[in-house]
A and B are shown apart, each in its own frame.
Chain A
Amino acid sequence: MADEVILLDYWPSMFGMRTKMALAEKGVKYEYKETDPWVKTSLLLEMNPIHKKIPVLIHNAKPICESLIQLEYIDEVWSDAYTILPSDPYQKSQARFWADFIDKKFYDPSWKVWATMGEEHAAAKKELLEHFKTLETELGDKSYYGGEVFGYVDIALMGYYSWFKAMEKFGEFSIETEFPKLTTWTKRCLKRESVVKALADSDRIIEYVYVMRKKFGAE
């Protein structure tokens, strides 16, 4: 029986971009369904009743929610193709740690830096730069976060790449100036077709951010 894979996603979502990268790395054919999370369609509510959010990966009618969980699922199901997570348990634990860091710590200031004003904005910028520094240090001179091979943490962070320009613009800093190792790493990742095809246009994201800023009252 052929696999039926559907991805419910919204074009600007950094989380959806991760899942798209993983599916592409594995050569998995899937149907993409553009799903605006602000419009709760019956399919979205049925597939993700708890969080009502995208992305939702639907494999043979069974939903898998949360992008990092989707990455592990994709890696385990399509296990004969390119491996996303390292096989060594310790390396795997480190990969999970850094992906978790990105979502637990990096995520909040990454949007607050464009969504807020005044003191809140200043605090978000400070925190964001600190986390970028931590990620720069962790990367060090490695080609990828896992070493020589593109994998889980690279996908987790590159999901945010389309939003970097917006962070720089509203945070008033330059990633290239402040974080040269990360910059080299992004250029290396951008050589991969799976990455390029998954990303949204950075300028289109900035237009989207202007719309969202009005919603948040930051314009």
Chain B
Amino acid sequence: MATEDVKLIGSWASVFVMRAKIALHLKSISYEFLQETFGSKSELLLKSNPVHKKMPVLIHADKPVCESNIIVQYIDEAWNSSGPSILPSHPYDRAIARFWAAYIDDQWFISLRSILTAQGEEEKKASIAQVEERTELLEKAFNDCSKGKPFFNGDHIGYLDIALGSFLGWWRVVELDANHKFLDETKTPSLAKWAERFCDDPAVKPIMPEITKLAEFARKLFPKPQA
């Protein structure tokens, strides 16, 4: 296959950038990774995503695609003849995958992030309780979607696995920070096993950031107030 001009603007620590990377790896697409400098936005980023000015941005043959879930779908469709399908094939399953991916970004992620930004113990406890509640829903969603198979998408990782799985590094960082385990063999048996499988997947393993590096980065991003 001819090398196509594919660039990805992002950061090693970003969950949303990771989604794009996993999709590119699944499809065996070579790309140039353009690491953004922490604290500033490159000219290319601002030019390619003038509306949101955010990463990731996939640039394919000089044409930018923005928003991580939109990028993943684009990769699946533009390279539909290579690698496994990322979206399920049946329209109803696709609707369900899209529903839960939206839930993860609009509800679940917001409560996870609020643990790191919580002011005081009371706020933190409330955020933790909310993440517990929302994770329970994801455990049920996994059981419904996977139908006994190893991933949300069935036999191999797909759209919804990528949507949630890219959070696993940060999720671990939040668990350590809050001193609270969310992914647990007793509370979330299916998700706990799925998480291990996801991280071991050849498309994911080489690009999952190290937890210690992420934790250090988290301290920079979410500084604790001085006692």
Contact = CB atoms under 8 A, between A and B. Distances in A.
Interface of A: 50, 59, 62, 64-66, 69-70, 72-73, 76-77, 89-90, 92-93, 96-97, 100-101, 134
A134 B52 CA distance: 11
A65 B92 contact: no
Most buried by B among A72, A77, A89, A93: A93
Contact of B91 (A76, A97, A134): A76
B73 interface: yes
A77 B93 CA distance: 12
18 contacts: A59-B92, A64-B92, A66-B98, A66-B102, A72-B95, A73-B94, A76-B91, A76-B94, A89-B77, A89-B78, A90-B63, A90-B65, A96-B70, A96-B73, A97-B66, A100-B70, A101-B51, A134-B51
B222 interface: no
A62 B144 CA distance: 13
Contacts of A59: 92
B110 to A, nearest CB: 13
Between A65, A76, A89, A134, the greatest number of chain B beta carbons within 10 A of the residue's beta carbon is seen for: A89
A62 B74 contact: no
B12 to A, nearest CB: 24
B103 interface: yes
A62 B60 CA distance: 37
A90 B74 contact: yes
A66 B67 CA distance: 18
Contacts, number: 53
Nearest to B76: A89
A72 B98 contact: yes
Interface string B169-199: 0000000000000000000000000000000
Given A90-B60, A90-B74, A73 B95 contact: yes
Given A73-B95, A89-B74, A96-B70, 16 more contacts: A50-B103, A62-B92, A64-B92, A66-B98, A70-B95, A73-B94, A89-B77, A90-B60, A92-B73, A92-B74, A93-B70, A93-B73, A93-B74, A97-B65, A100-B70, A134-B51
Contacts of A65: 99
A92 B65 CA distance: 10
Contact of A64 (B51, B63, B95): B95
A84 to B, nearest CB: 13
B98 A69 contact: yes
B74 A69 contact: no
Interface in B49-90: 51, 60, 63, 65-67, 70-71, 73-74, 77-78
A54 to B, nearest CB: 15
A101 B49 CA distance: 12
A164 B77 CA distance: 35
Contacts of A73: 91-92, 94-95
B137 interface: yes
A101 B67 CA distance: 10
Contacts of A92: 73-74, 77
A72 B70 contact: no
A32 to B, nearest CB: 20
Contacts of B99: 64-66, 69
B139 to A, nearest CB: 14
A97 B57 CA distance: 12
A130 to B, nearest CB: 11
Contacts of B67: 96-97, 100
